[in-house]
Chain A
Amino acid sequence: MKRLSVWAVLLAVLAALPAGAQQPYYAGKTIEILVPFAAGGGSDIDARFFAQFFEKHVPGNPRVLVRNMPGGGSVLGANFFAENARADGTQLLATSASTIIPYILGLPQVRYDPAKWELIKVNGVGGIVYVSPRTGVRKPEDLARPAERLVYGGISATGLDLVTLLLFEVLGLDVRVVMGFEGRGPARLAFERGETNIDYQTTPAYLSQVVPLVREGKAVPILSMGFVNEKGVMVRDPSAPDLPSAYEAYQALFKRKPDGLLRWKAYQSMVAAAFTFQKALWAPAGTPPEALQALRTAVDRMRADPQFQQQAKQILEGYEVFRGDVAKPAVLRATRITLDVKKFITDLLRSKYQVRL
């Protein structure tokens, strides 16, 4: 009898062991998300929002911290990550357009290559272009003959404004571009003051700040920058489904499709990289598959989590979050511009905007 009970206990212990050995990869660990931007900015808010849901949904419930490391327009932090990050899944990098654009343009201070990293999640933001009623423009076709010269206020030709500049090229608009605003917020104020008459805002800012102006008749929305889907086709912005995309705007202006045009290729690439896939989270090369699996599982769970969906409506403006492995091909395609596109962009910046790259 005694021997049987000993064996029973032994068997019970042996049965329990495998369950103990299958501890989730991240149990008891801490994940650090490096944000190469200052606290409080859009990328920081995005990272902190996801941090709490990663804590909730990554198997093993690791602690997830955000560490800010601004500097060099986010290049410093990205360089640091590329050179120092631990490849065990406990350090991730949050990037935004200002991290990716210098990489696309091949600027010398960039010492990172996202193609080598593992993409964990990506979500984007849209851009809405609107004009002052003084321009008399009500639909894209009118842009060809505005009642007064179009004046646009931007921040820097090598930042997100590059996309807007390419849009102006695509649509053949004659715009006086004034760079030097501190941010899109002050640029919008200039529009409200009547100092500029064409502007774009990212969708969250548009919906909260510009829509009241539209209702008061002080702003007229014309088109959206457009969203590039996983097939590489530009579709309407999901948050502004009533507005034509840049693709449709071109068609309205020139009565044909822009596919194949070099400047269209340039624009579409940049829109994808800078807007559609703006907020990306990466793990370094060599991260173990269990870690990647756990993180991607978390993204799936998040997408199905009603609390996430509810809050994402505010913070992400209802744009979808994509799992990194699913979206990576499209993202890399967007960031890998061909040599002719690169030359087009460099030439444009040099000839029209006095930018030496």
Chain B
Amino acid sequence: MAEAVRAAVELFVNPTRLSMLVLGSAVGLLIGVLPGMGGIVAVAILLPFMIKLDPFSALAMATGALAVVHTSDTITSVLIGAPGSAAAVPTMMEGHPMARRGEAARALSAAYLSSLVGGILGAVGLTLSIPIARPLVLSFGSPELFLLTVLGVSFAGSLLGKEPLKGLAAGLLGLLLGTVGPAPAAAEVRFAFGQVYLTDGIDLGLVALGIFGVAEVVSLLARGGAVAQRLELGRGWWEGVLDVWRHRWLVLRGALIGMWAGVLPAIGATAGTLMAYGHAVATSRDRSRFGKGDVRGIIAPEAANNAVEAGDLVPTLLFGVPGSAPSAMILGALLAYGILPGPRIVTEHLDLIYTVVWSFALANVLGAGVMFAASPLLARLTHVPFPRIAPPIVLAMVLASFQKTQHFGDLVTLVVLGVVGYALKVTGWPRGPLLIGFVLSNPLERYYFLTVKLYPRPEEWLLRPGVVVIGLLVLAPFAWSAVRWLRTRGRAQAEVRGQRPGPGAVATAAVLGVFAYAWWQATGFLPDAALMPVSVAALGTVLSALQLVRELRGQASPLRDEDEGEAAEEAVGPRVLRAVGYLASLAVYVLATWFLGIRWASVLWSLWFLRGVARLSWPTAAVYAAVLVAALELVASVLGLYLPAGRLRL
């Protein structure tokens, strides 16, 4: 106790530590704003500086950055629909529609307050759990972790939408996408089609950026106008604060889910946030507004994703097993100071641990405060005609996707996923279950195989208390739904106005094709590498075939864009054509990158866009494009990135 107080006082009083904390938080906030860049980028930037500091200041700095990255990544998620990170996707799915309705300030303030509370609760949880963490984490064996991933995937069940078959198939599609790359349980690389680039699988960040970010940006551009269709109604930010108070228990539950997701291996920040979102949906009586702007869908995930960063520090500090990529870097920094993580850290370096805890809490407060103050200003961006702010966003996404492996494949993947994401969006395929499936695919498979191989006889693990408890948690919602269905079966079914088969059926047929092809391919894999893809693809084939039949018979619900609740000002057709045009321009941009290099491709694309789409005058467009590319260079050099010059070596 005395140690804790002393560490807190040291933090506030020592100018170096405090200023490093503030600096780290500032960097974390800035990086969080850029779509696609997360904690690891922030820590990577700070690492060279950290090495020169004393351990306390260095940790304060790194913790400061980590703590606030998920506070600021809300901005682009809500305002533009480009998720700041994969963990910001739920916030985007609920916050962005709110922004379109003119409720941006409400969404943002609810998000920041939830982040703040989640972060503080995370810090508290971190402190409380230190004495009991070791036995706690060790009590979760492979079977329990397997059941946890099953639980995570089951949360997708609450996000299925009006056409359950589509939702399920989307989840299976996500699981299938997750199998691309090295199989966990056998030495086989799946679905790489001979490309070395794919031998590590598809990157989560790219999936979030492409399927959600690019798709949303293109959709916004196609719709035209500014993000917000209506004027800001009243004092939105106060409304957001009230929302958090009204749903305070949801905040708590979200933070708890996030913390546990961080502490336990197998579930990471993204999965934890998605689970919190699914939990918010599952525990709501009135689910009609989810996906169209329900503030509860912001509150739970935002609390979770700040708490999860605190939770991540538990295995990092106490076991030397980093819970996430940024905490791996912190671990590296600790080792460089000769501070060994493990059980001894609690006895030998308690002051360090408390420095981390207090830094985390303080950074959250600072970050939320800064963001709150900036909210009204930021919300005004939603009234600017979108084409004028699209180029920096697009370039930021390109840079973010590129900085991972700096391979051309990153850009190609981004555009391909963008096309897929838009197609799914416009044909009413829910992308939430897809993301959950993708994120949990590897852990699910990995822990399944570890369970059955370490415990060859089923009774060895099926009857473990942890397994039984989590298993009940998995089954409970389904049991509840079944009971409800039985009760309402008697009532007359509402007449579903059928829809003639159209583009929706084409999309379903395409999905069916993907599943069938994957099924066929997967049968050629090694047995342990084939189990998962074959099961997923077979089930997916069946479900999408059933859905196709429904659509061809005209039994399916009318096709709706995911963004409902907007006045349909014009027919869908021209809008989709425009979107396709923008996607095509991105494809051309990527092609240009191959030949001319990123700088020139960016200049040319920006000029075309600013002149042709945003309709700016030549001088304005030229200056704007030049500033953009200069900013690109600046950010790239700060991040230590190398912008390739393209084949023609310009």
Asked whether B265 lies within 8 Å of A189 as measured between CB atoms, the reply is yes
B51 contacts chain A at the CB level, 8 A cutoff: yes
Count contacts on A: residues with CB < 8 A to the other chain: 58
B282 contacts chain A at the CB level, 8 A cutoff: no
Contacts of A190 in B (CB 8 A): 141-142, 450, 454
Nearest Cβ on chain A to B54's Cβ, whole angstroms: 14
Nearest Cβ on chain B to A92's Cβ, whole angstroms: 14
Of the stretches A72-80, A124-132, A225-233, the one at the interface is: A72-80
Asked whether B328 lies within 8 Å of A40 as measured between CB atoms, the reply is yes
A348 contacts chain B at the CB level, 8 A cutoff: no
Contacts of B342 in A (CB 8 A): 208-209, 212
Whether A196 contacts B340 in the complex (CB less than 8 A), given A67-B642, A71-B197, A76-B196, comes out as no
Bitwise interface map of B from 393 to 426 toward A, beta carbon under 8 Å scored 1, else 0: 0000000000011110000000000000000000
B453 contacts chain A at the CB level, 8 A cutoff: yes
Nearest Cβ on chain A to B433's Cβ, whole angstroms: 24
B344 contacts chain A at the CB level, 8 A cutoff: yes
Whether A354 contacts B200 in the complex (CB less than 8 A), given A40-B325, A40-B331, A178-B454, comes out as no
B329 contacts chain A at the CB level, 8 A cutoff: yes
Asked whether B196 lies within 8 Å of A186 as measured between CB atoms, the reply is no
Contacts of B182 in A (CB 8 A): 73, 156
A340 contacts chain B at the CB level, 8 A cutoff: no
Asked whether B325 lies within 8 Å of A157 as measured between CB atoms, the reply is no
Asked whether B325 lies within 8 Å of A209 as measured between CB atoms, the reply is no
Asked whether B187 lies within 8 Å of A156 as measured between CB atoms, the reply is yes
Contacts of B184 in A (CB 8 A): 180
Asked whether A158 lies within 8 Å of B187 as measured between CB atoms, the reply is yes
B612 contacts chain A at the CB level, 8 A cutoff: no
Q: What total of A-B pairs shows CB separation below 8 Å? A: 144
Whether A186 contacts B321 in the complex (CB less than 8 A), given A76-B197, A208-B341, A209-B342, comes out as yes
A144 contacts chain B at the CB level, 8 A cutoff: no
A23 contacts chain B at the CB level, 8 A cutoff: no
Those of A325-355 within 8 Å (CB) of chain B: 349, 353-355
Asked whether A311 lies within 8 Å of B336 as measured between CB atoms, the reply is yes
Those of A132-158 within 8 Å (CB) of chain B: 151, 153, 156-158
Contacts of A185 in B (CB 8 A): 319-322
Asked whether A79 lies within 8 Å of B196 as measured between CB atoms, the reply is yes
CA distance A315 to B335 in the complex (A): 7
Contacts of A212 in B (CB 8 A): 342-344
CA distance A335 to B546 in the complex (A): 55
Contacts of B138 in A (CB 8 A): 189, 192-193
Which residue, of A40, A41, A68, has the highest number of chain B Cβ atoms within 10 A?
A40
A214 contacts chain B at the CB level, 8 A cutoff: no
Q: How large is the interface on B (under 10, 10 to 19, 20 to 34, 35 or more residues)?
A: 35 or more
Whether A72 contacts B200 in the complex (CB less than 8 A), given A40-B331, A44-B332, comes out as yes
Whether A355 contacts B405 in the complex (CB less than 8 A), given A189-B138, A205-B320, comes out as no
B449 contacts chain A at the CB level, 8 A cutoff: yes
B185 contacts chain A at the CB level, 8 A cutoff: yes
CA distance A190 to B186 in the complex (A): 19
CA distance A180 to B325 in the complex (A): 19
Contacts of B384 in A (CB 8 A): none
Contacts of A44 in B (CB 8 A): 332
Contacts of A38 in B (CB 8 A): 325, 328
Asked whether B526 lies within 8 Å of A354 as measured between CB atoms, the reply is yes
Partner of B196, one of A67, A75, A182: A75
Asked whether B336 lies within 8 Å of A49 as measured between CB atoms, the reply is yes
Nearest Cβ on chain B to A316's Cβ, whole angstroms: 11
Asked whether A354 lies within 8 Å of B454 as measured between CB atoms, the reply is no
A242 contacts chain B at the CB level, 8 A cutoff: no
Whether A45 contacts B640 in the complex (CB less than 8 A), given A38-B325, A71-B200, A156-B187, comes out as no
Nearest Cβ on chain B to A178's Cβ, whole angstroms: 4
Asked whether A180 lies within 8 Å of B199 as measured between CB atoms, the reply is no
Those of A41-70 within 8 Å (CB) of chain B: 41, 44-45, 48-49, 52, 65-70
CA distance A208 to B446 in the complex (A): 27
CA distance A69 to B185 in the complex (A): 25
CB closest residue in chain A, given B345: A208
CA distance A153 to B640 in the complex (A): 37
Nearest Cβ on chain A to B539's Cβ, whole angstroms: 22
Bitwise interface map of B from 52 to 77 toward A, beta carbon under 8 Å scored 1, else 0: 00000000000000000000000000
B643 contacts chain A at the CB level, 8 A cutoff: no
Asked whether B197 lies within 8 Å of A179 as measured between CB atoms, the reply is no
A39 contacts chain B at the CB level, 8 A cutoff: yes
Whether A69 contacts B406 in the complex (CB less than 8 A), given A179-B185, A186-B265, comes out as yes
Contacts of A204 in B (CB 8 A): 335
Contacts of B641 in A (CB 8 A): 67
B576 contacts chain A at the CB level, 8 A cutoff: no
CA distance A65 to B637 in the complex (A): 11
Contacts of B337 in A (CB 8 A): 314
CA distance A31 to B199 in the complex (A): 29
Show 27 residue pairs from A and B whose CB-CB distance is below 8 angstroms, ordered by the A residue: A39-B40, A39-B43, A39-B44, A40-B322, A40-B328, A40-B332, A45-B332, A45-B336, A67-B642, A71-B199, A71-B407, A75-B196, A76-B407, A109-B196, A109-B199, A151-B454, A153-B450, A157-B187, A180-B450, A186-B265, A207-B340, A208-B341, A209-B319, A311-B336, A314-B335, A315-B336, A356-B526
**Besides A181-B450, A182-B265, A355-B186, 19 other A-B contacts (C-beta < 8 A):** A38-B325, A39-B325, A40-B325, A45-B332, A45-B335, A67-B641, A71-B405, A153-B454, A178-B454, A180-B185, A180-B453, A188-B321, A192-B138, A193-B139, A196-B454, A208-B342, A349-B187, A354-B527, A354-B528
Q: Which 10 A-B pairs have the closest CB atoms?
A: A185-B321, A40-B329, A40-B328, A208-B340, A71-B405, A180-B185, A355-B187, A314-B338, A178-B453, A180-B184
